[in-house]
Chains A and B, each alone.
Chain A
Amino acid sequence: MASRVSLKSKGKSSVGKVSKGMDDKSTTQCLKEWSNWALKKAKVITHYGFIPLVIIIGMNSEPKPQLYQLLAPV
C-alpha cells in the first residue's frame, strides 16, 4: 500500500515538473518563432519593396520629374 502511494505521489510531482518546464520553454520558443517570422517577412518586404520605395521617394522630391522620364532613355 505504502509503496503504491509513494509511486502515485512521485508520478504526480514528475508530471507537475514536466508541465512547468514546458511552459518556460514555450515563452522563449514563442519569442524565437515570432522574431523569426518577423525577420522573414521583413526580408521579403525589403526584397520586393526597396527599389519601388526609392523610386517613389525620388519621384516625390523637388523638382518633380515627369512619369515618362522614368522609362524614356533620354
Chain B
Amino acid sequence: MAGMVPPGTAMLGEASAAASAKKINDVGKKVDFMNLPCPIPYEELHREALMSLKPELFEGMRFDFTKGLNQKFSLSHSVFMGPMELPSQSAETIKIPTAHYEFGANFIDPKLMLIGRVLTDGRLNARVKCDLTDDLTLKANAQLTNEPHMSHAMFNFDFKGKDYRTQLQLGNGALFGASYIQSVTPHLSLGGEVFWAGQHRKSGLGYAGRYETDKMVATGQVASTGMVALSYVQKVSEKVSLATDFMYNYMSRDVTASVGYDYILRQARLRGKIDSNGCAAAFLEERLNMGLNFILSAELDHKKKDYKFGFGLTIG
C-alpha cells in the first residue's frame, strides 16, 4: 500500500521529481569543509565598504609625481598646499594654511615592500612588509618626528594557515594586540581580536563576521569599546557598486549611517556618499591621458558649516 502511487499524480510526480533532482544536484556540490578558501585579513574586513565610502578626501591643491626608475623601484615627489585642520574641542573648526613637499622612495617586490616618505619638517612615514616565509609576514609601520614623545611604531606578525589567519601586533606605548579569523563556510568567515594598551590602561575584545558572495559583501563588527559597525556592499554591475555603513557606539550613544556609490568607468572613477551627520562628499579621479590623472574632491558638512574643496594632479 505504501508503494502504490495514484495515477492522477503521475505528472505532478514527474515534475516534483525533476525539481527535487535539480535541488539534489545543487546540494550535491556538497560543501567541502576541508578545502575552504583563506579568509581576508582581519583588518581588511570592511575593505569594500571603506573603498567606496571613505575616499581620501582633501582640501587644497595636491600634486603627485611618481617616477619609476625600475620595475620595482620608484621615487615620488608630492606637493600639497592648503588648509590643515587642527583638532579642536569646540564646535568651530580651526584651519591653518600649510604647504609642504614630500619626498618618497618605494621599493616593491613580491617578497619585500619598503615605502618611505619624508616631509619638509622632518617627519618620516615608513612602511615595511616582508615575507619571512611562505606563511609568515612581518609588517611594520612607523611615523617618526623630531619632537620627543610624538613618534609611533607598530609591528605586525601575520601567519596565514589553510583556512585561517592570525595576527600579532606590537606597538610603542606597550600596545599589544592579537586577532584571528577563520573561514567557516565558503562564503562566511568569523573572527575575533583582543588588544591591550599599556599606556592608557585599556583593554578590549572584539568579534567580527563577513559574508560574501559574487554580488555582495556584508560585514559586522562588535567591540567591547562600545563600537558596533555593520556594512553592506552590493555590486550592481561591473561598473557600479553601492555601499552602506552603520556605526553605533553604545557607550557614547553615537550613531552614524552613510550611503554611498562607486562608479568605475573607463576613464574615470567617481565615488560619493551622504552621511547622517549631514555630510555629503564626492571624489572624482579622471584619467586624462596615460599616467596623468586629475583629482577633484569635495566635502560639504552642513552641520558644522565646513565646506572643503580640493583639486589635484597625479602623474605616474
Chain A residues with CB under 8 Å of chain B are 43, 46-47, 50-51, 53-55, 57-59, 61, 63, 65, 69-70, 73-74
Contacts and interface: CB of A to CB of B under 8 A. Distances in A.
16 contacts: A46-B144, A47-B146, A50-B124, A51-B103, A54-B115, A54-B116, A57-B107, A58-B69, A58-B70, A58-B72, A58-B105, A58-B107, A61-B73, A61-B109, A69-B69, A74-B67
A40 B114 CA distance: 22
B105 A55 contact: yes
A72 B295 CA distance: 26
B314 to A, nearest CB: 16
B116 A51 contact: yes
Contacts of A54: 105-107, 114-116
Contacts of B124: 46-47, 50-51
B69 A46 contact: no
A47 B108 CA distance: 20
A27 B220 CA distance: 48
Contacts of B151: 43
Q: Which 9 A-B pairs have the closest CB atoms?
A: A58-B73, A65-B69, A54-B105, A51-B116, A47-B144, A54-B114, A58-B107, A50-B116, A50-B126
A33 to B, nearest CB: 17
Nearest to A51: B116
Contacts of A69: 69
B142 interface: yes
Nearest to A48: B124
The secondary structure that dominates the A interface is helix
Contacts, number: 52
B114 A73 contact: no
A69 to B, nearest CB: 5
Max chain A CB contacts within 10 Å: which of B105, B106, B116, B124?
Answer: B105
Max chain B CB contacts within 10 Å: which of A46, A63, A73?
Answer: A46
Interface string B65-76: 001011111010
Interface in B113-146: 114-116, 118, 124, 126, 142, 144, 146
A51 B118 contact: yes
A50 to B, nearest CB: 5
Contacts of B71: 63
Interface in B47-76: 67, 69-73, 75
A46 B142 contact: yes
Given A51-B103, A54-B114, A55-B105, 12 more contacts: A46-B142, A47-B144, A47-B146, A50-B116, A51-B105, A54-B106, A57-B107, A61-B109, A63-B71, A65-B70, A70-B75, A73-B67
Max chain A CB contacts within 10 Å: which of B69, B75, B146?
Answer: B69
Given A43-B144, A46-B144, A51-B105, A61 B72 contact: yes
A48 to B, nearest CB: 9
Contacts of A43: 144, 151
B304 to A, nearest CB: 36
Interface in B63-95: 67, 69-73, 75
Contacts of B109: 61
